[in-house]
Every structure is written in structure tokens, then in C-alpha cells.
Structure 1
């Protein structure tokens, strides 16, 4: 058990990857804060299942985030492990030239929320002399798929913030890395694909080295591997089944 007694904050813990990370961290002995944006019964049930703590906050609201972080710190001590799998909903899939300023800003709120998390939690890691940060991005930030430009750009922005954090905080014992999945398939969820998504899935499978898309649990395995690696920082780990990204 690699993280016994360490306080972990999983942002976006109610999504497929976030849930898998929460369960994996708890299985490794961490004390896990299960973050959700709104009052979420699922978050509370997940927290109860792993003997964790459910905390709600809009990551764009600094006062709400501070209150959530204080709740975690009071219960578990300083956060040593931060995983951010949170991102705003995508209700619009439009070409870049058709994307409104409001839709673009809505996606970039994810990068702002990531910066807010770093600003709130990194000082505690500095004081402890150690910390691990993993941001969950996505292949769309480098491998374009039509209609996803604002999402990909926002993920790329948060990835750059993470890499700068690695540079700036490494001498303080803090590592910061990125896990970038491609398409993920949750075997426990029924997913009905649009014709466009189905065609994209077929194209990706033809490009991949492996015969199937990764599951949320397999992405969580990559996240935990980086959390446990004391001398890996500033890196992006592509979990794409061998799909060529560059």
C-alpha cells in the first residue's frame, strides 16, 4: 500500500476516471477527499464506500474551494496528493470559427479551476516538503477531432500550467505530471454513440497498437503510477492504446 495515511484530493471525483482514481487511492491506503461541484448523492455514497470525505465546491469560486480544502485539512491533514479530473460540461461541439466567446470561456474555466487548485493546495505541499500532482488532460489537446477545439485548447492550457508547476516546485519536493487519455470506454456504462463519434472510434481503433480502448480503471492505474514516482515530473503520459499522437 503506497499511500497509507496520506491525504488525497480528487477533483472531479464523480466522473468515470475520478471514481476509479478514488477507489484506487483508497485501496492503497490514502485518505481521500471526493470532490464534486454540486450537491451530489453519488459523491457522498462513493466517499462512504472508501471511508473518505465528500466535499463540494465550484473550482472557479475561490472562497468555496478554500472552505472545501479547509474541511479536508481539518479531517485528514495537509493534502499531499492532488488529482484533477474535473472539467466543465461540454454542451456545444462547434468548429473553432463558430465558437462563441462565452462557449470558449466556459471551457477555459477548467484551466482557471486547475490554477485555483494549485494556488490553494501547493503551499501546504511546500510546507510538508513533498507533494504529488496529476492533471487528467486528453489526447484532443494534440490530436484534433472536429468540434472539440475549445475543449482541446483548455486542456492544453491546464497542461502547460502543470508543466510550469513541475519546474517551479521541483526543488521543494513536489512533482507535477499529466495523464492524457484518448477515448475511454467504461464497461459499466451504456454509451450510445452519435454517428460522428462512432466513426471517430473506428478511425482511432485503426490507428491504435492495442485492440481496445482503455477503461477508467486502466487510466487510474497510470495516474497512481505517477503519484508513486518520486523522480518523474513535468511529463505527459499518453494513455491511448498506442495511438500515435505527435
Structure 2
């Protein structure tokens, strides 16, 4: 990272939302370190440092080392990790699935934050946590995912209180359905065969785009208007008020 360029860390940077967040933050002039799980991204963004990170492992040694190697101020941390459920009823969902989703979707934040907290505090960073509107909706057949995201939000709101004295701001973004390859895979598991028709039947007549979600994350992480806010959950939903 050159000169006095502030640093952003994107946990889960290789997913559809994560890639868009990386691009958004680089557009805003930040240097970016992003994590991937498994295969290294085949078309890494120029100027972005990629680090392997398994959120379920409880080990963020490599991530800590990569960030500590950059002396620039750590200004923004985005947690955009998430794995879906099998969409089975709670009674039919194995306990292993609940444990795996909690380990990745919720405890992954704990692992990452414990590795980055000292640098984030030194830079009075902003942490943006990506949750899901499923916490509000709590639809049938998604118990493991919903519960893990509810736990994630509880952890984020706790961090907002704990880290405020260090100047750290912690906020959550919880989008409704986002058009992405993962979303289409999940819809297929639910038996949806016409993705376009499904999107058209949503309240807004379409799903959110990854660019829209990334734009809000970029604002929460960088824009002065959000400097006052911490412990806020921004739910990106379309509610016309009609009943």
C-alpha cells in the first residue's frame, strides 16, 4: 500500500458481495487486503492483497500477519462471510449443520476481530458486518442460517458497545435477497426453476444487486455522515407499506 493510503480489510472478499465491496473500497481510494477460502481468486483485483482465511478454523494467524505487515492506518473492516443452510426444517437439520453455520457465520467474526482489534482500535476504524434480512423474516426451512445470522448481529451490537471507547464504530447491514450465483443456487435448492420470474415477483419487482449492497457498505465504512452511528442495523428491504 503506497504512501498514506488508508487500509481496508474485507473478510470474505472472494464472494459476489465481497468482490463488489473490494471494488467499491478501492474506488474510494483505500488499499485493500481481502480474504478468500479455498481456491485463490482466478482474477484478483489489481492492487488487492489476497490472504487465505477459513472462518471455521478459529485461526487468523495469516490474516493478522498480512495486516501487521502494512503500516498504514486500518480504517475499515468488512465482515462479509456467509454460508447457506440446506433449507430443511429444524426437525430435519443435522446438529452438525447448525454447528458449522455458527462457526462460520457468527464465530468467524470473533476470530477475525480478535486478530484485527488492536490495529482497528489504533485507527479508530469502522467495522461493517454483513448480516441478512432473514433475521427479521425468520422464514420456515432456514433455521440454521437465520439463527447464525441472529448470533452474528448480537455479536456485532455487543462489539459496538465494547469498542466505542476506542473510537471504533460497528454497524450491520442486513440486505434482503441479492441477485448472485449463490442466491440462484439456494433458490434451486428451494425448488425455484424460473429465477427471473422469482425476482420479478419480489416486492420491488427485482432483487438487490451486489453493487447496491456494496455501495451502502462503502458509505457505512467511509462516509462522514455515518461517523455518529454505531450499533445500527441497516435493513435493505423494499416495504411499500401495502398490506
Task: Please indicate the TM-score interval, normalised by the length of the shorter structure.
Answer: 0.7 to 0.9
- Tell me by how many angstroms 1:204 deviates: 8.1
Q: Is it true that 1:165 corresponds to 2:159 in the alignment? A: yes
Is 1:211 matched up with 2:239?
no
Question: So what's the TM-score if we normalise by structure 2?
Answer: 0.85
Partner of 1:24: 24
- Tell me what 1:34 maps to: 34
1:46 matched residue in structure 2:
44
* TM-score, structure 1 as length reference: 0.84
Contact 2:130 2:172 in 1 (8 A): yes
Q: 1:184 to 1:243 in 2, by over 3 A?
A: farther
Q: Deviations over 1:211-231 (max 9, x none)?
A: 322100000011111112211
Give the Cα separation in 1 of the matches to 2:202 and 2:83.
Answer: 28
Uncovered stretches (5+) of structure 1, i.e. residues with no partner: none
- Partner secondary structure for residue 69 of structure 2: helix
State how far apart, in whole Å, the 2-side matches of 1:98 and 1:111 are: 22
Q: 1:238 — aligned with what?
A: 235
Q: Give the CA deviation at 1:197.
A: 4.0
How has the CA–CA distance of structure 1 residues 126 and 57 changed in structure 2, closer, same or farther, with 3 Å as cutoff?
A: same
Distance 2:113 2:159 in 1: 8
Aligned length: 232
C-alpha RMSD of matched pairs (Å): 2.7
How far residue 175 of structure 1 moved from its aligned partner, in angstroms, is 0.5
Determine if contact 1:214/1:241 at 8 Å carries over to the other structure: no
